[in-house]
Structure 1
């Protein structure tokens, strides 16, 4: 199916690995010109290099960074059609999961909201004028099933993602008449660096459960989270849905939330 994306311009945050890398690769394959934002590049991102890819090294914890990325997209590629707010999860230097409400302090809460909500607010604020100048666009915000299924684990993260979901609905209501569609993806556990890196979620849960990291990813986590598919989500599976939401093929889809979560959310 032709997604009708060729020649469009996208900004993808958190683009150097995991979901962001898969999204960047997928959009490039569809003929999109992509501005990839991340604190640093990776060999995998560099391997995608070409005339249609621009990497902008930024720390999205910097309030000026989201606007700078959008400005580079407009300056280098002439405008902006797609914004994928993928960067999120543990702020730089933080490992999740964290257990219990009393564990994160004020600084932890501020950092979590800065990375998972305020950086999105700033990116959208910068992107909307550029999209309106092109007659519309698509914004995809990567959220979490934890926003709808709160638990005494990662309380600050889940609260930030719940705020992101609310923001998405409000943006959709205001800007859909002007041609800007805004949607969310509610993810379950995805096989990314958050889980797989040393000291990441798999290691933390392994220490709690008295097992090893591979067992956590292959069986313990799927069982603990009651994943219907019995496995973690793959980044490409998320990227495919994002590409469809970015496409004019989804012209009547806005204010919607898509669960790409291996069956994590059971509620109707």
Structure 2
């Protein structure tokens, strides 16, 4: 299916691995010209680089970085049509999961909001004039199931993502009449480095359960979290939803949240 993204210009943050890498790859395969943003590149991202995909190194904890990234996209490709705020998770110096709400300091709360909410707000603020100039655009914010399903092991992260959901809804109402759609994709557990890398969440659960990390991800976590599909998601499954929301096929979809959470969140 042709998503009619050929020639569209997209910025994807947190693009060096995991969900962001899958999104950048998918948008490029659909014909978009992609600015892939991360602190540093990766071998996987380097393989995608070329005329239609450029890596821009940026630390989104720097308040000036989001606007600089958006300006770079306009310089490279002449404008901006799609913004995917994917960068998120624990920022440098902050470790998740925690044992309790009491384990998070003021400094860690501040860093969590800087990375997971404020960097997206700044990128959107920079992107809106370019999209208005082109007569519209699509903003997709990657949130989390924890925005709706609070958890004491990552309470500050969930609070920041809940803020992102709220901001997204406000933006969709204000800028919808100007052709700009703003939607949210909320993943549940996804097979990314946060789970799979050495010392990651799978290793932590393995140490507690006496199971090997792969068994944790394929059996323990799906049962513990009550995943209706019986498995955690693959990054490509999130990327597919993002690409559809970025596409003209979703022209009348805005202010919506799409859960790709394996059926984790049970509430309405």
Structure 1 SS opposite 2:160: helix
Query: What are the within-5 Å matches in structure 2 for residues 112-123 of structure 1?
Result: 112-123=112-123
For 2:167, the equivalent position in structure 1 comes to 167
Cα distance in 2 for partners of 1:131, 1:90 equals 30
Worse-superposed segment, 135-144 or 215-224: 215-224
Q: 2:65 matched to which residue of 1? A: 65
| TM-superposed deviation, 1:198 | 1.2
* Secondary structure at 1:47 match in 2: helix
Alignment partner, residue 262 of structure 1: 262
Structure 1, gaps ≥5 residues long: none
Q: For 1:51-92, what per-residue CA distance to the aligned partner results, in whole angstroms no more than 9, with x for missing partners? A: 001110011111111111100000110000000000101112
- In structure 1, what is the Cα distance between the partners aligned to 2:57 and 2:263? 35
Q: How does 1:144-159 map to 2 (within 5 A)?
A: 144-159=144-159
Whether the 8 Å CA contact 1:23–1:243 is kept in 2: the answer is yes
Q: Per-residue deviation at 1:236?
A: 0.4
- Tell me the CA shift for residue 17 of structure 1: 0.6
Q: CA deviation at 1:201?
A: 1.4
Residue 154 of structure 1 and its aligned partner are, at CA, apart by 0.5
Distance in structure 1 (CA, Å) of the matches to 2:34 and 2:49: 10
Give the deviation of 1:181 after TM superposition.
0.2
Task: Please report the TM-score for the alignment, with normalisation by the length of structure 1.
Answer: 0.98
Is residue 2:234 matched to residue 1:234?
yes
Which residue number in structure 1 is paired with residue 205 of structure 2? 205
Contact 1:97 1:204 in 2 (8 A): no
**Pairing of 1:85-164 with structure 2 (within 5 A):** 85-164=85-164
Query: Tell me, what secondary structure is at the counterpart of 1:183?
Result: strand
- The aligned runs of 1:1-80 (5 Å cut-off) are 1-80=1-80
Contact 1:12 1:20 in 2 (8 A): yes
- Over aligned residue pairs, what C-alpha RMSD do you find? 1.0
Aligned-partner Cα distance in 2 for 1:96–1:213: 17
Number of aligned positions between the proteins: 268
Using the TM superposition, give the Cα deviation of residue 151 of structure 1 relative to its aligned residue in structure 2, in angstroms: 2.4
Which range moves more in the overlay, 212-221 or 47-56? 212-221
TM-score by length of 2: 0.98
Distance 1:195 1:260 in 2: 17
Deviation at 1:93, TM superposition (A): 3.9
